[in-house]
A and B are shown apart, each in its own frame.
Chain A
Amino acid sequence: MIDLRDHLQELAEAAAREGRTAGPMAAIRRGRQRRRRLAVGSAALLAAVLVAGAVGTSHLGPAGRDLAPVSPPPTRPGFPAKLATYTPNGSAEAAVLRMLTDRSEGLGACKGGRPKDVRIIAVGRLPRQGLLQGVWMIAARPPLPGEQRLCWMFAFGNQRDLGAPVAYAGQPPLLASLRAMASGDPSKLIVEGYITKQAARVRFILAGGKPPLDLEPLQSGSEFPVNFFVAMVPWPGSKEQLPVERLIALDGSGRAITSCWLGDRDPSCGRERWR
């Protein structure tokens, strides 16, 4: 028997009981960060930055302007690195690292994996152009044997301004073959996620018939069931259509393993369960 009101109430009580938020002080900090970010104003993105080892990239850019992708190695040698032995390179990296390991907002708030065991998967520099300056970082906790969830986090910024588009307070979702999340500022779209290790590349199908873009995943090492990826794509007007429509995981011979839609219509990046 389904009674709408009763079962809504039951769901609400369950959510209130099990829901985990980072608390009022974290909300205040987040509010301040957001206000600072808004105060910066808009800025044009002059370059596309593709990280995660861009391969076979096609030129991207608004109005047909070629934007040569900058493909810096996303990491210095030695990644993934254990937190205990990792030394941040500069104050921006140190600030992002502090956020990643924060007990209320960072990986410390995520339930899963080996609690005190954090791996820095990759670090890279944000484009000099655009709103956000500093570095980006992916970190994760190696899952326990048989664990079907993954504590991971993606954050960026500098000592003054930080953001964490991916952070889990509590239990993270079940693993998927391909999970992608995205956030944007007025100049660019940042897409980050993870992908099954069967995949040799992630293909980004771009809007407007632009040539697709392939990225090599960031290797996470043997402790993780997935590899990660990060891409930053120009998005000069954030009210425009998303510049990335779809993601396809390709194996070493170019065969599609799985795919998902990132755009407005029926987004599905994370729907396909782990295999």
Chain B
Amino acid sequence: MASSDGFEAFYAATVGRLLGQLLPVTGDLHEAEEVVQEAFARASVRWTRLRDYDVPEAWVRRVALNLAADRGRHLRRQARALLRLGPPQQVPAASAEAVALLEALRTLPMRQRQAIVLHHLVDLPIEEVAHTLGTRPGAVKSLLARGRRALANRLSDAEEVLNSP
């Protein structure tokens, strides 16, 4: 059996944070729940190995990010890997500004969304974002710049977004 030794505690400790990180990527709470749960399912069968990682959460986040990207592009081979087609509709209760940001994020290409979340929400340095996304740091800088510019164009207070640290 997949060892649940420590898995339940790991799940309980990280699921909320991962949902929060995946929501801005998927733009939809249901979609975030689905990819996070699927990522945990994949983690569960590798748990005896993953639990020895320094940060197993990073593995789950990476898988969830990949799933989020995949689901927007292709149906997956496994029947369980559901593609929920259609627009994001489920948004948690948040301020109008935050909801507007979520709407604006949805219009960005997936890679830009992923880079923005990893850098500005997860607080990963550029190099780690590049490692997570499997690209070069220069490409991440470009993704971030283009993403922020696009957000600025879609939101009323462009200067604040562009100047975001």
Partner of A27 from the list B1, B41, B81 (CB cut-off 8 Å) is B41
Contacts of A46 in B (CB 8 A): none
Contact with B along A171-187 (1 / 0, CB 8 A): 11110100111111110
* B70 → chain A closest CB, angstroms: 11
Interface size on A, residues (CB 8 A): 71
Interface SS of A by simple majority: mixed
Contacts of B82 in A (CB 8 A): 165-166, 181, 183
Q: How far is the CA of A122 from the CA of B88 in the complex (A)?
A: 27
A70, CB-defined interface residue at 8 Å: no
Contact with A along B85-102 (1 / 0, CB 8 A): 111011011110110111
Select from chain A the residue with minimum beta-carbon distance to B45: A31
Binds B, one of A12-20, A61-69, A201-209, A214-222: A12-20
CB of A16 within 8 A of CB of B20, answer: yes
Contacts of B17 in A (CB 8 A): 12, 16
Contacts of B30 in A (CB 8 A): 168, 170, 172-173
Q: How far is the CA of A7 from the CA of B101 in the complex (A)?
A: 7
B120, CB-defined interface residue at 8 Å: yes
Partner of B33 from the list A5, A21, A164, A267 (CB cut-off 8 Å) is A21
CB of B24 within 8 A of CB of A8, answer: yes
B142, CB-defined interface residue at 8 Å: no
Contacts of B61 in A (CB 8 A): none
A239, CB-defined interface residue at 8 Å: yes
CB of B79 within 8 A of CB of A183, answer: yes
* B6 → chain A closest CB, angstroms: 10
A77, CB-defined interface residue at 8 Å: no
CB of B120 within 8 A of CB of A183, answer: no
Binds A, one of B51-59, B131-139, B152-160: B152-160
Besides A27-B43, A166-B82, A171-B90, 6 other A-B contacts (C-beta < 8 A): A19-B19, A28-B4, A30-B41, A31-B43, A32-B1, A163-B80
Interface residues of A (CB under 8 A from B): 1-5, 7-28, 30-35, 37-38, 131-132, 156, 163-166, 168-174, 176, 179-186, 189-190, 238-239, 242, 260, 262, 264, 267-271
